Amino acid sequence: MVIFDISIFFIVFRETLECTVIMSLLFGIIDRIIPPENEDIPSLNQEITSPSPPTSITSQDNHYRTIIRRLRRFQQRENTSSQELRGQLKRIVVYGTITGILISIILGILFVGVLYIVIKDSQNGTGGILWEAFFSLLTTILITLIAWYMIRVTFWKEKLEKQIKKTTLAYLEKYIGGNKWFLFFLPLTIVMREALESYIFISGSLNQTYISFLTSIGSGAIVGCLGGYLIFKCSNLISVRAFSTVCTIIFFFVAAGLFGTAISSFESATNSVQIYLWNLNCCNPDTDQGWEALSSAFGWTNKASLGQVIGYIVYWIVALLRTYFILRKSKVTDVNEANNNVA
């Protein structure tokens, strides 16, 4: 009996990691955009802990200063210190996160239940095989997009932080205006979005056992939370670039294996297999848990058709070529931004 599915693990891990990272950024931004009462109003582009003054004042800075002035008047009116206000905002974020998790769990149970019913009704004939092939192909595409997305992780943290800072300022402005629970919906929507992506990704693995689902999802969520904490709390010990590179390689292997599985399922459903490159009586991933893990991680099979092997190779060629162009474009962008800063 299969008790662990590595593809589900990495899907849940990635989604949990991104959700944890965003939550960590939210807490950090709340600490930075609400300065102590006795501190001068900082620039939006300046860290509050930085002793150096801002080099320029932009319209965005002026908007930020206006919000902070309104915030201080709000604190005086409500007789609330900066520390108490930070605590209030963080509790609202936590409430939104917990609510999003609970709603996501309920929707997930309904989603998986409906899919199980559909799969059970389609098991007759080739319906089940085509279902598995379709979702394996869909999951391959989505995991590959995730891998390409993580290649840009070097620029991801800075851009994501700027985006969330602007959003948090907008929500904070609503908070000052009297809508104290407006900030509640930001983490709620983030959690539900990541959960929805996870449901779509793991829907191609619904042929696994309940134990496999529970162990894979649980371990992926735990490791994802731990990874998000380590990245943003121990960044001096962990290289974000190295971490993203390892994750990208693993995602490519998982996606390549799923692509081979999709081709094999389509061939089985259409009875179009003519040539097998190898057909071994051992190392069967359907009966051996060790080989099953290799099948999930690297696409191993003891019975590989010509089309399956060609598809596996073509996938790697396309993935690596696209990766090369992404890295090349990122390098050119870095050079252009450096030249603009010098100018």
In tens, the pLDDT along 198-221 reads 776 666 565 666 677 778 888 888
Q: Is the pLDDT of residue 165 over 80?
A: no
Q: Is the pLDDT of residue 89 over 90?
A: no
Q: Which is nearest to 132 in space by CA: 198, 204, 201, 199? A: 204
Q: Is the dihedral of CA 47, 48, 51, 55 positive or negative?
A: positive
pLDDT of residue 191: 82
Beta bridge partners of 276: 305
Q: What are phi and psi of 300, to 5 degrees?
A: -65, 140
Q: What angle do CA 157, 162, 164 make, to 5 degrees?
A: 90
* Distance of alpha carbon 162 from alpha carbon 168, whole angstroms: 10
- Mean pLDDT over the full length of the chain: 71
Residue 301: what residue type? Answer: T
* Distance of alpha carbon 147 from alpha carbon 156, whole angstroms: 13
pLDDT of residue 144: 85
Q: How far is CA 110 from CA 82, 104, 106, 118, 191, in A?
A: 42, 10, 6, 12, 17
* Distance of alpha carbon 253 from alpha carbon 67, whole angstroms: 48
Percent above pLDDT 90 for the chain: 3
* Distance of alpha carbon 138 from alpha carbon 140, whole angstroms: 5
Of the pLDDT bands very low, low, confident and very high (cuts 50, 70, 90), residue 75 is low
pLDDT of residue 174: 67
pLDDT of residue 41: 45
Q: Is the dihedral of CA 34, 39, 45, 50 positive or negative?
A: negative
Of the pLDDT bands very low, low, confident and very high (cuts 50, 70, 90), residue 335 is low
Q: How far is CA 149 from CA 222, 322, 327, in A?
A: 22, 12, 11
* Distance of alpha carbon 1 from alpha carbon 289, whole angstroms: 8
Of the listed ranges 65-74, 92-101, 138-147, 264-273, the one predicted with least confidence: 65-74
- Its pTM stands at 0.61
Of the ranges 44-53, 92-101, 239-248, the best mean pLDDT one? 92-101
Is pLDDT larger for residue 288 or for residue 258? 258
Burial degree of 110 (CB within 10 A; 0-12, 13-18, 19+) = exposed
Is pLDDT larger for residue 240 or for residue 40? 240
pLDDT of residue 307: 83
pLDDT of residue 236: 53
pLDDT of residue 213: 73
* Distance of alpha carbon 126 from alpha carbon 195, whole angstroms: 30
* Distance of alpha carbon 182 from alpha carbon 172, whole angstroms: 8
Q: Is the pLDDT of residue 108 over 70?
A: yes
pLDDT of residue 125: 54
pLDDT of residue 321: 93
